């Protein structure tokens, strides 16, 4: 290699320098106990004469990355630094700098002026902060935070989140985090806001808090939507159907994931204006939603993502369960939709008792009984349903059909094993724990099943005409669920004091985001103001447990205690925010107003918690100040953002102790952060009974006021039978789990189906 040349990016050639490579490797390996001769011994494999410098660095990085193992996981961290140094070099060139050292010295004020002048950023930071404040904030930047990322993390950060200029990345990680902190705190009291900017910046940069994708991607860009989750509902008329389809396209355009409930729409064969068999049912409309999601993608990053929910009593439920299966009429399929079944307690009881289940047409029920069945839950639903059941047995319902309840559940389970779906939402459980049950009903969940609240369809007045002959149609009264998300990274939180501080910052970030976001639809803005719903989640639980030498399957009591503390800290922070800024609009009459927290009175906490005094203070403060946010917690899947955060996803067991992340441009070896020292305390989900997982999820669920993206995993190599799937679903329902997300199966050959996931929630 002595006489070989390297072609630099400016086209000039220079002699290959082993000393230069050695310097870069030692810089990237600083702090790690790695044998660099394993890399230098392989240089001859890829260093060829006239090799472009960019290819040399890429091949060097991949050589380092491919040395990653359970015994030596730090190679992936070293590879991350090499990728980072490449980013430094490229951005320095774009900015006209000759700087070549790493880490790069940040000049934030200069970058900010450049970003605003070139419309990379919106003008808000310069408008809200003085030059002196900007210089003070620039001093918060700690370039050492850049060195925390492994290869998968920095690669994803570059590919998806850092801002571009002329198709090249021009923003550096700490510039991104400081800009986000400045923007999220911009309207806080000027006396304290720079201290809050520093606090927010440090927790983001030090990977204590992970922002949902829209916040991370859009906050500093002009006119960005910051909300992750949306849920809307389709009424049974043409105006509403196409209005909702337009809502879906608007939400998808701005990067949001959508849930839409379609249970109000009449079934196949139902009457239209008295004409029998005129309706095509819900499937044709779902196919239009499917094509809308494909046509209007998520900001060019991927196709739109929509979950369509249907109640289990709907006459079209059989066709709905086959939406994504390969068999049957292809005209009845929608392969880009994520189906979700909304199940009442009564159905589960009939399954247990091996009874018949009644399927009905919502249009016929409206016409004959003046009841919107999709708006009912609990006793009210059971009363009307039992009446319908009796009337159907006497032939009084035209569109009624009886179906063995257990067979219908089996059909659902079969679809889950084949396709991973449908998701399940237990409607009565959702609404029992709904703090705003005085103000509406929860009819389904968002795309990743962790977030939900009251929604209602928009109403349409009669069409009128203005003076120019244009059609005017007033739309009103609708509510579309909106939620902003962050996740607490439990992997790197080491004390209760730190956890409480992280919770306080998370509440502040999300409550401020509500006031800053530009929701793409009016009904979402109204929902934000009425409920101020936020979703504080968690990731890295498997790492948190392993770090403390706690096997996942024996963690139930510890996890119960941990998430009770998180609930305490979140609720306390939101009450304190209400003291300063006021409550959410619908607070009067809510569970909070009635002195119920997470559906439970003060007495329950006196009898069941070891933190009685803390709960007493919270109940007293709640009575005095109210609460700012009607719902506070939601645990998202975090599959992609956990890579950036360097931890395991969400609160489930790890998938594998060592795995290969595959994507269009190659494969990335990865493993959990503490695997070398805590190998035996990491337990793989595919080797754990899912009933144990459900039990641990139920402990967490007790302290979560919305939901958890619970992914079930069945390993067919462990003699899984249909009864195991059945028992897991039954356990989930009986233990007050609100929703079930993906179902994944490990095949006999060890493979598993890839799952698709909304970028917004995954973040």
Nearest-angstrom CA–CA distance, 212 and 335: 26
Secondary structure (DSSP) of 680-709: GG--BGGGS-HHHHHHHHHHHHTT-SS-B-
Beta bridge partners of 464: 472
Q: Is 503 considered catalytic here?
A: no
Beta bridge partners of 77: none
Nearest by Cα to 79 from 57, 101, 99: 57
Q: Is 267 considered catalytic here?
A: no
The DSSP output letter for 45 is G
From the list 450, 564, 711, 757, the catalytic residue is: 450
Q: Is 483 considered catalytic here?
A: no
Q: What are the residues whose beta carbons fall under 8 Å from the beta carbon of 670, sequence distance 6 or more?
A: 68, 76, 150, 152, 643, 658, 659, 660, 661
Q: What are the residues whose beta carbons fall under 8 Å from the beta carbon of 618, sequence distance 6 or more?
A: 568, 571, 572, 575, 597
From the list 225, 290, 431, 446, the catalytic residue is: 446
CB atoms within 10 A of CB 12: 9
Secondary structure (DSSP) of 235-246: -SSHHHHHHHHH
Beta bridge partners of 51: 6
Residue 463 sits at φ, ψ, to 5 deg, of: -70, 135
How far from the centroid of its chain's Cα atoms is residue 642's Cα? Answer: 11
Which DSSP helix (H) or strand (E) runs through 487?
strand 481-489
Q: Mark residue 269 as left, alpha or beta (left: phi above 0; alpha: psi -120 to 50; beta: remaining).
A: left
Beta strand 401-404 with 356-359 is: antiparallel
Beta bridge partners of 5: 15
Structure tokens at 763: 């973040």
The DSSP output letter for 420 is S
From the list 267, 448, 483, 503, the catalytic residue is: 448
Could you give the residue numbers annotated as active site?
446, 448, 450
């Amino acid at each position: 290699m002595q006489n070989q040349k390297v072609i630099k990016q400016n086209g000039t050639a220079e002699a290959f320098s082993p000393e230069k490579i050695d310097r870069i490797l030692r810089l990237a390996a600083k702090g790690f106990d790695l044998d660099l001769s394993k890399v230098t011994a392989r240089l001859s494999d890829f260093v060829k004469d006239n090799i472009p410098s960019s290819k040399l660095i890429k091949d060097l990085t991949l050589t380092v990355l491919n040395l990653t193992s359970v015994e030596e996981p730090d190679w992936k961290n070293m590879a991350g630094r090499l990728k980072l140094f490449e980013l430094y070099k490229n951005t320095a060139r774009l900015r006209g700098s000759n700087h070549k050292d790493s880490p790069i010295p940040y000049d934030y004020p200069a970058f900010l002026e450049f970003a605003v002048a070139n419309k990379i950023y919106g003008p808000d930071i310069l408008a809200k902060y003085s030059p002196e404040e900007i210089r003070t904030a620039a001093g918060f930047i700690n370039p050492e935070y850049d060195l925390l990322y492994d290869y998968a993390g920095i690669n994803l950060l570059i590919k998806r989140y850092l801002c571009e200029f002329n198709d090249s990345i021009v923003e550096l990680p700490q510039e991104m985090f400081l800009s986000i902190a400045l923007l999220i705190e911009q309207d806080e009291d000027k006396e304290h806001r720079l201290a809050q900017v520093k606090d927010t910046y440090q927790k983001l940069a030090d990977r204590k808090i992970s922002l949902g994708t829209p916040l991370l991607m859009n906050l500093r860009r002009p006119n960005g939507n910051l909300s992750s989750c949306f849920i809307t509902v389709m009424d049974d008329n043409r105006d509403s159907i196409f209005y909702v389809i337009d809502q879906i396209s608007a939400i998808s355009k701005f990067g949001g994931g959508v849930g839409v409930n379609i249970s109000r729409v009449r079934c196949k064969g139902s009457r239209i204006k008295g004409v029998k068999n005129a309706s095509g049912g819900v499937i044709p409309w779902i196919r239009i939603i499917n094509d809308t999601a494909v046509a209007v993608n998520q900001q060019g990053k991927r196709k739109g993502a929509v979950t369509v929910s249907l109640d289990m009593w709907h006459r079209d439920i059989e066709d709905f369960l086959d939406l994504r299966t390969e068999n049957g009429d292809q005209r009845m399929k929608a392969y880009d939709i994520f189906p979700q079944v909304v199940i009442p307690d009564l159905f589960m009881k009939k399954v247990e008792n091996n009874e018949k289940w009644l399927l009905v047409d919502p249009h016929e029920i409206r016409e004959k009984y003046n009841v919107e069945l999709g708006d009912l839950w609990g006793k009210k639903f059971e009363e009307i349903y039992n009446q319908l059941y009796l009337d159907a047995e006497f032939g009084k319902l035209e569109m009624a059909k009886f179906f063995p309840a257990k067979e219908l559940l089996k059909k659902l389970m079969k679809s889950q094993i084949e396709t991973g779906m449908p998701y399940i939402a237990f409607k009565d459980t959702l609404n029992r724990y709904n703090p705003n049950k005085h103000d509406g009903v929860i009819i389904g969940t968002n795309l990743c099943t962790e977030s939900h609240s009251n929604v209602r369809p928009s109403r349409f007045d009669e069409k009128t005409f203005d003076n120019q002959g244009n059609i005017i149609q007033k739309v009103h009264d609708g509510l579309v669920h909106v939620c902003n998300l962050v996740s607490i990274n439990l992997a790197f939180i080491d004390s209760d004091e730190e956890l409480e501080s992280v919770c306080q910052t998370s509440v502040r970030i999300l409550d401020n985001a509500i006031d800053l976001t530009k929701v793409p639809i009016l009904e979402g803005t109204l929902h934000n103001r009425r409920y101020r719903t936020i979703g504080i989640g968690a990731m890295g639980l498997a790492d948190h447990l392993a770090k403390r030498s706690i096997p996942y399957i024996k963690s139930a009591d510890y996890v119960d205690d941990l998430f009770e503390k998180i609930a305490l800290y979140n609720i306390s922070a939101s009450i304190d925010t209400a003291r300063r800024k006021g409550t959410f609009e619908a607070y009067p009459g809510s569970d909070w107003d009635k002195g119920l927290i997470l559906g439970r009175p003060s007495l329950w906490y006196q009898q069941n918690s070891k933190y009685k005094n803390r709960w007493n203070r919270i109940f007293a403060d709640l009575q005095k100040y109210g609460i700012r946010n009607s719902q506070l917690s939601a645990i998202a899947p975090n599959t992609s953002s956990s890579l950036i955060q360097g931890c395991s996803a969400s609160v489930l067991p790890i998938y594998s102790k060592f795995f290969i992340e595959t994507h269009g441009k190659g494969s990335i070896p990865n493993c959990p952060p503490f695997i070398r020292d805590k190998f035996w305390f990491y337990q793989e989900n595919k080797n754990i009974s899912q009933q144990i997982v459900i039990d641990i999820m139920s402990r967490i669920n007790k302290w979560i006021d919305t939901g958890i993206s619970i992914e079930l995993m069945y390993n067919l190599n462990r003699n899984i039978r249909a009864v195991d799937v059945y028992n897991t679903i039954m356990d989930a329902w009986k233990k007050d789990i609100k929703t079930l997300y993906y179902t994944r199966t490990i095949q006999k050959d060890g493979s598993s189906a890839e799952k698709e996931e909304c970028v917004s929630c995954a973040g």
